[in-house]
């Protein structure tokens, strides 16, 4: 060992440039080694501190799961006891069922509603006369222009408020609310609200 050191010393003294370069390389190598050691030590310290913090702040997953399940549970108030059997009909339902069955057996018809005239029969006749007068006044605005007889007779009637031209009507068709019920050679019969009026060519 001593011999090798002596040989190295002789070589370095013989070539001072190489000796300086070798010394510089040794210094750099020592610096890098020291830096790596310091970095490794600091990383180990940080890892140890993080592990200790994780252990101190870690939560038991079983406890967290149990708390979540408790939070999702909805506590309902207790149900009130049933006061009656839901499958047992009430007295009102029994009475309605019996009434329905009785109506079916008797073949009862639905009740008919009659409108009574408190003022007597005279007022009904007066109302009918007023209605007939009103219908005749409306029919007076219509004019029978012509009649075409044949297999399908038609009547040409003018005077409709919503028509500029006369209407050509067959039996059963309507004009101004009047239904054409009869067609003859020179006259037709119209009906409205149960009142029948006659139109004649050239006048009523």
Read off the pLDDT of residues 157-174 as tens digits, 9 standing for 90 and up: 988 777 778 889 999 999
| 111, pLDDT greater than 50 | no
Beta-carbon contacts of 18 under 8 Å, excluding residues fewer than 6 positions away, are 11, 12
The pLDDT value given to residue 180: 93
Tell me the pLDDT band of 110, cut-offs 50, 70 and 90: very low
Above 60 in pLDDT, residue 191?
yes
Q: Report how far apart the first and last C-alpha atoms of the chain are (Å, whole number).
A: 157
pLDDT beyond 50 at 118 = yes
Say which residues have a Cβ less than 8 Å from residue 159's Cβ, sequence separation at least 6.
Answer: 141, 142, 143, 176
Considering the segment(s) 132-200 as one domain, its CATH architecture is: Roll (2.30)
Give the mean model confidence (pLDDT) for residues 92-114. Answer: 61
Residue 84's contacts (CB-CB under 8 Å, 6 or more residues apart) are 90
The tally of CA atoms less than 13 A away on the side-chain side of residue 203 is 0
- List of residues 6+ apart from 135 with CB closer than 8 A: 192, 193, 195, 197
Lowest mean pLDDT among 14-18, 44-48, 81-85: 81-85
């Amino acid at each position: 060992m001593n011999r090798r050191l002596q040989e190295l010393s002789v070589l370095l003294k013989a070539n001072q440039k190489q000796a300086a370069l070798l010394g510089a390389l040794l210094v750099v190598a020592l610096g890098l080694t020291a830096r790596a050691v310091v970095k490794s030590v600091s990383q180990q310290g940080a890892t140890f501190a993080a592990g200790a913090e994780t252990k101190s702040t870690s939560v038991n997953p079983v406890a967290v799961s149990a708390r979540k399940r408790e939070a999702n549970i909805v506590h309902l108030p207790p149900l009130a006891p049933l006061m009656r059997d839901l499958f047992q009909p009430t007295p009102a339902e029994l009475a309605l069922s019996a009434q329905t069955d009785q109506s079916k057996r008797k073949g009862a018809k639905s009740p008919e509603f009659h409108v009574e005239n408190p003022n007597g029969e005279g007022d009904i006749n007066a109302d009918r006369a007023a209605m007939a007068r009103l219908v005749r006044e409306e029919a007076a605005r219509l004019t029978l222009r012509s009649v075409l007889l044949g297999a399908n007779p038609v009547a040409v009637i003018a005077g409709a408020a919503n028509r500029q031209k006369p209407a050509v009507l067959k039996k059963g068709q309507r004009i101004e609310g009047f239904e054409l019920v009869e067609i003859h050679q020179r006259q037709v019969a119209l009906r409205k609200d149960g009142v029948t009026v006659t139109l004649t060519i050239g006048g009523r």
